Amino acid sequence: MRRTPLALAGTLLLAATTACGGGGPTEEGGLTQVTVGAIPIIDVAPIYLGQEQGFFEERGIELTIESTSGGAAAVPGVVSGNFQFAFGNVTSLIIGRQENLPLKIVTNGVTSSGQDGADFGAIVVPEGSDITSPEQLEGATVAVNNLKNIGDTTVRNSVELAGGDGSGIEFVELAFPDMPAALDNNQVDAAWVVEPHLTTALRNGATEIASNFVDASPDLSVAAYFTSEQTIAENPELVDAFTEAMTESLEYADANPDEVRRILSTYTEIAPEVIEELRLPRFPAEVDRASVQTVADLMVEHGTLDEAPDLDALYR
C-alpha cells in the first residue's frame, strides 16, 4: 500500500532522529568538509559550477556533493547530520516542516523560466491526442513522478484555471525517464514532465498543452537548498559561508546559461544533442516567498495538507 507524503514524512522523522553516525562537519587542511545531498538533475547545475569556480573553497569549505534519489534521502540525511545541506522540492519541504522536521531553507534552488510554452516543465499529451487544452484533462489519466506533490498540485491548478475540474483527474506515479515511452504507447492520457525528459517527449511527437509551473506563478520557486535547525544553532558561521557561496553560484549560473549546459555533461548522462535543446530554468538566489505561499495554498485547497502551514518557520 502506497503511503501518502504526510505519512512518509512521519517515517522520515523517525528515521532521521534515530539515525546513527553523521554529526557535524570536519576540518581538513584548513577547510571545513561539508557534504551536500543533491539529486543529479539540471536544477542543481549551480552548485557544481560553484564548486568548479572555487566559490566554496574561497569561503573555507571543502565541498562534497553526494547524489540522492530525492527528498526521501535528502531530508533524513540533513536532519541526522549526514548531510549539512541538501537540495529539495519546496512541496516536500513544506510537508516535512508540517510534520515537525527541523528544516530551514537557506537559499533558492531553481525557479520557473516564467515563459508560457517555454518552461523546463510542462503538461504534454501523446502525438495525435484529442486533448488540446488543460480543461480537457477532466477524468483523464495523468502521469506525475510523485503523488500528492508539486506535480499533481500544479497540474490541477492549470486545469482549474482553464475552467475544468481537477478533482476527477486520475494521477499515476511514473518516473520521469519512463514518461516519454508511456506517452508513445498511450499508457497515459497526459504527463507532467520536466527536462531533459520534456525535450525527449517533444522530440517523439508529444504536444505541450500547459506550462503548469508558470500557471501557478511566473516566478515559482520550485526547489531550495536547506539545512537543519541544529546545524544553524551549532555552526552559524558555516551556514553563512555556505549561503554566500551558494548565492554566488546561483548568480553565476543565471548569468551564464552556456556554462550551465557545459557542466551538465560532467554529472549527468544527458546526450550532448539533447543538452543543446534543453529549456533551462532560472536560478535567482532569493526564494520567491509569494510563489511558495501560492503552492501551500493549493496544497490546502487540494487536500494535500489539512491546514495552512507556518511558512515563516521554514525560512532561516
What pLDDT, on the 0 to 100 scale, is given for residue 24? 65
What pLDDT, on the 0 to 100 scale, is given for residue 144? 95
What pLDDT, on the 0 to 100 scale, is given for residue 71? 66
* Domain residue spans of the chain: 5-112+219-314, 121-216
What pLDDT, on the 0 to 100 scale, is given for residue 27? 67
DSSP 8-state secondary structure symbol assigned to residue 249? H
CB atoms inside a 10 Å sphere around CB 227: 25
In whole angstroms, what is the distance from residue 57 CA to residue 237 CA?
14
Q: For the segment 199-233, what is each residue's pLDDT rounded down to a tens digit?
A: 999 999 999 999 999 999 999 999 999 999 999 99
What pLDDT, on the 0 to 100 scale, is given for residue 83? 96
The pLDDT-based confidence of 72 (bands split at 50, 70, 90) is: low
Question: Which of the four CATH numbers 3.40.50.720, 3.30.565.10, 3.40.190.10, 3.90.1720.10 does domain 121-216 have?
Answer: 3.40.190.10
Residue 279 backbone class (left: φ over 0; alpha: ψ -120 to 50; beta: rest): beta
Q: Is the pLDDT of residue 23 over 80?
A: no
∠ CA 214-225-157, rounded to 5°: 25
Q: For the segment 253-269, what is each residue's pLDDT rounded down to a tens digit?
A: 999 999 999 999 999 99
DSSP 8-state secondary structure symbol assigned to residue 313? G
Average pLDDT, integer, range 259-285: 96
Same fold, 5-112+219-314 and 121-216: yes
Average pLDDT, integer, range 183-187: 96
What pLDDT, on the 0 to 100 scale, is given for residue 14? 43
Q: Is the pLDDT of residue 282 over 60?
A: yes
DSSP 8-state secondary structure symbol assigned to residue 243? H
Average pLDDT, integer, range 271-297: 97
Average pLDDT, integer, range 28-46: 92
Average pLDDT, the chain: 91
Q: Is the pLDDT of residue 3 over 90?
A: no
**% of the chain with per-residue pLDDT over 90:** 84
The pLDDT-based confidence of 5 (bands split at 50, 70, 90) is: very low
If DSSP codes are grouped into helix, strand and coil, which group holds residue 210? strand
Q: For the segment 108-154, what is each residue's pLDDT rounded down to a tens digit?
A: 999 999 999 999 999 999 999 999 999 999 999 999 998 888 999 99
47 membership: H or E segment, kind and range = helix 45-53
Superfamily (CATH H level) for 5-112+219-314: Periplasmic binding protein-like II (3.40.190.10)
Q: What does the block give as the cell for 201?
A: 517527449
Q: Is the pLDDT of residue 6 over 50?
A: no
Beta-carbon contacts of 32 under 8 Å, excluding residues fewer than 6 positions away, are: 25, 26, 60, 61, 62, 238, 241
If DSSP codes are grouped into helix, strand and coil, which group holds residue 68? coil
What pLDDT, on the 0 to 100 scale, is given for residue 69? 73
61-75, 156-170, 180-194, 243-257: range with lowest mean pLDDT: 61-75
Q: CB of 37 within 8 A of CB of 101?
A: no
Burial of 132 (C-beta count, 10 Å sphere; 0-12/13-18/19+): exposed
∠ CA 128-198-167, rounded to 5°: 70
Average pLDDT, integer, range 103-109: 98
Q: Which residue has the higher pLDDT, 12 or 41?
A: 41
Q: For the segment 11-22, what is each residue's pLDDT rounded down to a tens digit?
A: 444 444 433 344
The pLDDT-based confidence of 30 (bands split at 50, 70, 90) is: confident
Nearest to 77 by CA among 226, 271, 261: 226
In whole angstroms, what is the distance from residue 107 CA to residue 93 CA?
13
Beta-carbon contacts of 288 under 8 Å, excluding residues fewer than 6 positions away, are: 108, 111, 217, 219, 220, 221
What pLDDT, on the 0 to 100 scale, is given for residue 21? 40
What pLDDT, on the 0 to 100 scale, is given for residue 12? 44
CB atoms inside a 10 Å sphere around CB 162: 16
Average pLDDT, integer, range 284-292: 98
